[in-house]
Amino acid sequence: MATSFDATVRNLGIGTPTTGPVVKAAGSQSLGQNDFLKLLTAQLKNQDPFEPVDNTQMVAQMAQFSSLAGISEMGTTLKSIADRLGGTTSAEALGYVGRTVLTEGATAYGRSTGGIEGAVELDGAATDVTVTLSSVDGQVLKTLRLGKQPAGTASFDWDGRTDAGGDAGAGPFTVTAQASGAKGEVTARTLVWAPVQTVSMNAGSPVLDVAGLGPIPVTAVRKVG
């Protein structure tokens, strides 16, 4: 019969509690705090009365197990708090209705003063960035050359005049971008401003219905106007 707590646990084919609050066992099962206490109780019931478990060692190991289990539970709690702080509630999402947001998209409507404002997201530095604005039927209305741009977001503002000098109207317009760098093509995404019409909850996560773009998650919003 085992003469110490460590020996008893080792004889059961598991690691000692000092390895952590959860010890992996055969068959992908785990030893949790309740299992540990059951084993401790069984060990105390079956210990040799002439050679009992050392009290100091037992208390120390129980304290270590409890401390590590508490740290694990605290980590779970902190993650839950972080998820809550980083999320968006229904009430907060409703605040988007009626406002304009900057998000990834290729369709934009003209401002009351004419033209549109937008941006291009670049995954790398580019030596040449070009934004093309077209009508819904594919006719090119304006070509904007943004030139050399670093990685990140490059903004543009179009006054609504075509390359020929005419008024392009209120849209909607199709926005595309091309970018090239020293090593070839650079991945570019167009960002457009669009009004939020409604908000819906999709499995608890707010989804914005944006004019011209359809439903987008709140996390897709780059800026709010």
Domains of the chain: 5-86 (no CATH), 90-224 (2.60.40.4070)
Closest CA to 144 of 98, 109, 106, 175: 175
Query: Residue 88 and residue 106: Cα distance in Å, rounded?
Result: 25
Query: Residue 122 and residue 56: Cα distance in Å, rounded?
Result: 63
* Measured CA distances, 64 to 22, 46, 57 (Å): 12, 23, 11
* Measured CA distances, 221 to 98, 100, 198, 210, 225 (Å): 14, 10, 15, 11, 11
Per-residue pLDDT tens digits for 46-82: 776 766 666 676 677 667 766 766 676 777 777 666 5
CB 170 within 8 A of CB 215: no
CB 195 within 8 A of CB 209: no
Per-residue pLDDT tens digits for 139-183: 999 999 999 999 999 999 999 999 999 999 888 999 999 999 988
